[in-house]
Structure 1
């Protein structure tokens, strides 16, 4: 089954990105969250989620935000960090992603203070 997802977000200005996805056994919220994370990776600056629309009519923003919070909490559940603020968890999650990118590309390809 195909779904059309539009994500409205703001950074320097208000933007919208949309695409069509196959569910392949996943929930619509999970697909939307993965699409949102992809958008965040592509942006060179901080962006804030405003609205998630499915098939041009159904607003699932609250579900996506709740799922993102669950994923962030699960990500840090095994660590010794006991933070309850979702915004702090988002920052830490982004830092973890940057660390993974740094490790993946190796130190030789990263120019730091030279």
Structure 2
């Protein structure tokens, strides 16, 4: 989870259990990305969508054919980006870490 989903989740943890999340907030960007997609994903989506439409147009296919081709190309581009693109450098937070922080009363205490 990233963006607003992560914020809402940890706000709910704090409100429900009173857990001090100051340390987590100070290192928020180490664990969570921004809300929504990066602008780089737009650069991944536009070329295959245009190519799918062009192929369908030249072949005389319907709009549905163009959408089908574009969908396959976009899925292939995303797969390639995830496989060979820049690595995800965020540090995952486990359910166990959240439970420990709640039981100990603060995010910092669970790290000791």
Q: TM-score normalised to the size of structure 2?
A: 0.25
Comparing both structures, which one devotes a greater share of its residues to helix?
A: 2
Could you say which structure has the greater relative contact order, defined with CA pairs below 8 angstroms and 6 or more residues apart? 2
Q: TM-score normalised to the size of structure 1?
A: 0.24
Instruction: State the structure with more CA Rg.
Output: 2
